[in-house]
């Protein structure tokens, strides 16, 4: 079983709860409030591109 880590930007009041995990060479991304709802699986390159886009978009993403 993969170890999921919560984003440092997540907070205890239920906002922005994202978790990531190393999934056999890929990156899993899921909503920590609904972990049984599934997850996205991204390549390391795809995850890096997602992070870049989120950083560039700021809060308007």
Other Cβ atoms within 10 Å of 40 Cβ, number = 14
pTM check: above 0.95: no
**Which pLDDT score, from 0 to 100, does residue 57 have?**
86
Give strand ranges (E) for 4-54: 5-6, 18-23, 26-31, 40-42
Q: Does residue 4 have a pLDDT over 90?
A: yes
Q: Which residue range forms the structural domain that includes residue 40?
A: 5-60
pLDDT digits (tens, 9 = 90+) for 13-49: 656 688 999 999 999 999 988 889 999 999 999 999 9
**What average pLDDT score do residues 3-22 get?**
79
Closest by CA position to 24, among listed 8, 43, 45: 43
């Amino acid at each position: 079983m993969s170890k999921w880590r919560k984003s440092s930007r997540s907070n205890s009041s239920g906002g922005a709860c994202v978790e990531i995990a190393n999934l056999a060479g890929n990156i899993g991304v899921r909503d920590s409030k609904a972990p049984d709802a599934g997850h996205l699986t991204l390549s390391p390159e795809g995850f890096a591109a997602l992070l870049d886009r989120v950083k560039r978009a700021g809060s308007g993403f």
